[in-house]
Amino acid sequence: MAIQVGEKIPNVTIKTSGMQDISTGDLCAGKKVVIFSVPGAFTPTCSEQHFPGFIRHAADIKSKGVDVIACMSVNDSFVMDAWAKDRGAGDDITLLADGNAEFAKALGLEMDGTGIGFGTRAQRFALVIDDGTVSHVAVEEPMQFDVSSAEKVLEAL
């Protein structure tokens, strides 16, 4: 079952820039965090709309009291780093590489992309987390991009 409002964020160790381990519990402890997930770095909607929206609206989101904006994908850390550079993310967005889909599975938000050659991936979603507790969940329907956009997250904040 997918994570719900009021639940604690699962504590899973994943990777960030430079293959550094990061605990999702530590990332969210004592902070307001927005985590948005994309099915894949360098994929069309993710690269053209989802990620750029959060880069463009990072200051607005942070002005609402958000300490960390993180983008998660079931890709490795090297791909995520290259994607951030390619998109000009700078230091505004923390990239989370969930290479084995462990965090996506712990959230109950994995998807089966084997039909299109993706294997197991994370669904497209956005979460707002307050001191480790989920306060907003927006999960997209398959092949859609609406409720998890930066603009919709801003409205929810």
Q: Which residues are catalytic?
A: 46
Q: Which residues pair with 126 in a beta bridge?
A: 36, 138
- Residues β-bridged to residue 125: 37, 139
6 token code pair: 């009021």
Tokens (6 digits) for 20:
């550094």
Torsion sign (Cα): 97, 102, 107, 111: positive
The sheet that has 94-97: what strands, in order across it? 20-23, 13-16, 94-97, 68-73, 32-37, 125-130, 133-139
Angstrom CA distances, 10 to 50, 83, 85, 137, stand at 24, 26, 28, 14
